[in-house]
Amino acid sequence: MDAFSSTFLSTLSQHPKSLLSPYNYSPNSPSSPTLKVSSVRIEERPQTTTTRTKPQEKPTPSPPKPTPKRELPIKPIPSRKPLEPSFPSVIFNAFDDFVNTFIDPPLRSSVDPRYVLSDNFAPVDELPPTECEVVEGSLPPCLDGAYIRNGPNPQYLPRGPYHLFDGDGMLHSIRISQGKATLCSRYVKTYKYTIERDAGSPVIPNVFSGFNGLTASAARGAITAARAIAGQFNPTNGIGLANTSLALFGGKLFAIGESDLPYAIKIAPDGDIITLGRHDFDGNLFTSMTAHPKIDPETNEAFAFRYGPIPPFLTYFRIEPNGTKTPDVPIFSMTRPSFLHDFAITKKYAIFSDIQIGMNPIELIRGGSPVGADSGKIPRLGVIPRYAKDESKMRWFDVPGFNIVHAINAWDEDGGDTIVLVAPNILSVEHTLERMDMIHACVEKVKIDLKTGMVSRHPVSTRNLDFGVINPAYVGKNNKYVYAAIGDPMPKVTGVAKLDVSVAETDRRDCIVACRLFGEGCFGGEPFFVAKDANNPEADEDDGYVVSYVHNEKTGESRFLVMDAKSPNLDIVAAVKLPRRVPYGFHGLFVRESDLNKL
């Protein structure tokens, strides 16, 4: 699950545990006895304490262990020297500790760092470019380039409540060239990361877990304001984490988190990851943008939006292929703040969802989170011409019970009179921000008849699926295949399912046509499809490979898997043993060598 806008906070469940003492994270220091979580330490083989649910299908047996080979060298990581905190920092940190201990301790499982950061959710330190070993098969030539995955990785162990979405963004990139692979893990050098690194301790409070209840919100808000007045940070420089996704558009590669502007990055020839800086498109992008912009593969335009707690609650815009941002299109017909994480485009339209999750500041007064599910609200889908200059042609359609966080794809039918949308519908929407292990998402196909206003929908699969991706060449047009992560339960991913969404609704059968389970104790993340020949318009839609990082919690080993997208079992054609574990994360992107060279 990806990180959401800083204007929205999490609703959490009860989990009584003892309080945490202040502790700055260092990969080489032992665990604090108070924490009692060894898996938070940075180590190659973390302890496994998670209870696993057996998948329905018979798991694919893990490949046999290869003959022992020489260990590839890992470049030494320089230790971070502890910094002497300034006098104001000592005072502010003491106030933080008081709030974390007596006013708002982490009493719920979804904000208890010992629970949230256990096993392979535990953070790792940066890793310079390090050679990897191909232990099975060989890497196809079409993978020359880099697969990069974003995700949360807190720079310091939290001193109080911590939600999964609160971690600093870290990119894990595997650079592939002529059958060889190099892994590199680097923080996105955001403004927040940089000032906290220089200060030697957290400065900006955790957005998702730090503002539950009026007293805790007022206390942390006052401390944060005092830090700003004391000159510890400048909020106008952004407080985002850039921990959600990546996108390539406007001639640049971006790491994105929707609570801030995107950060431009590049991949060096040796595989290192370099943060170029915060990007505002010549001063034309304000505050933030979605972490899921849609790039039309034929026009190279990027379509995007932002949302927030004050009107206009939704603003739509696009970015030209040359990187020029078009004027904003404010959507005032969205009359209340909604949790709007993703959207979809067709050749003619952009489609937005107004779901049951929204903001209610009154809950702060009652001691709860200002964000939650409203069971009395009827979800809607909004349709606007994708080149609209205002919202005059925006239309909203009621779709009861349809709550989506991610959209897979959409396209036009019947000459543009019908819109088809494919997306996972969250059946237990009240758990979206608090108990992800209780979420069940059912992929559905929705049809909107623009002439009659009728909306029809049917399930494509009843399996718990999310993080669905397609061949990027089919964004905005009729596609057949979807590759989705199997949640068992989320946020852990036990395998990948391939769906054929062309099956007619009259068939009423599950559309899963291929499946790969990673095996007992093995978990991955969002899959990504890479075409064998992206420049061949005659190639089959599924002629390519599905890639993902997979971690074995029994052995502590992480691998990069390459699967044949055409095969009925998504056969593994290559497996790369990574020199260090890669924590679970959010969204990824494959960038071809030719595109890397243009950055």
Residues 6+ apart with CB under 8 A from 491: 1, 164, 436, 437, 584
Using left for φ > 0, alpha for ψ between -120 and 50, and beta otherwise, residue 238 falls in left
- The vertex-294 CA angle with 416 and 423, nearest 5°, equals 70
Strand partners, 381: 353, 397
Question: What is the C-alpha to C-alpha distance for residues 183 and 170, in angstroms, rounded to an integer?
Answer: 13
Cβ–Cβ < 8 Å for 588, 5: no
Determine the 3-state secondary structure of 516 from DSSP. strand
Residues 6+ apart with CB under 8 A from 16: 107
Cβ–Cβ < 8 Å for 120, 154: no
Cβ–Cβ < 8 Å for 575, 560: yes
Strand segments, DSSP code E, in 16-144 are: 127-131, 133-137
Please name the residue that has the structure tokens 């078009």.
326
Cβ–Cβ < 8 Å for 418, 478: no
Please name the residue that has the structure tokens 């002439």.
451
Q: Is 292 assigned to a binding site? A: yes
- Classify residue 192 by its DSSP letter: H
Tokens of 219: 């206390």
Per-position DSSP letters for 296-348, written without gaps between them? -TTT--EEEEEE-SSSSSEEEEEE-TTSPBPPPEEETT--S-B-----EE-SS
Tokens of 134: 């191909």
Cα-based distances in Å from 187 to 184, 205, 347: 10, 18, 36
Cα-based distances in Å from 126 to 26, 69, 508: 11, 25, 48
Q: Is 341 assigned to a binding site? A: yes
Q: Is 587 assigned to a binding site? A: yes
Question: What is the C-alpha to C-alpha distance for residues 223 and 279, in angstroms, rounded to an integer?
Answer: 28
Tokens of 61: 């047996």
Q: In what order do the strands lie in the sheet with 349-354?
A: 344-345, 349-354, 380-385, 395-398
Cβ–Cβ < 8 Å for 388, 329: yes
Strand partners, 493: 487, 524
Q: Is 163 assigned to a binding site? A: no
Looking from the CA of 367 toward its CB, the CA atoms found within 13 Å total 2
Determine the 3-state secondary structure of 372 from DSSP. strand
Which residue ranges are tagged as binding site for Fe cation? 292, 341, 406, 587
Which residue ranges are tagged as binding site? 292, 341, 406, 587
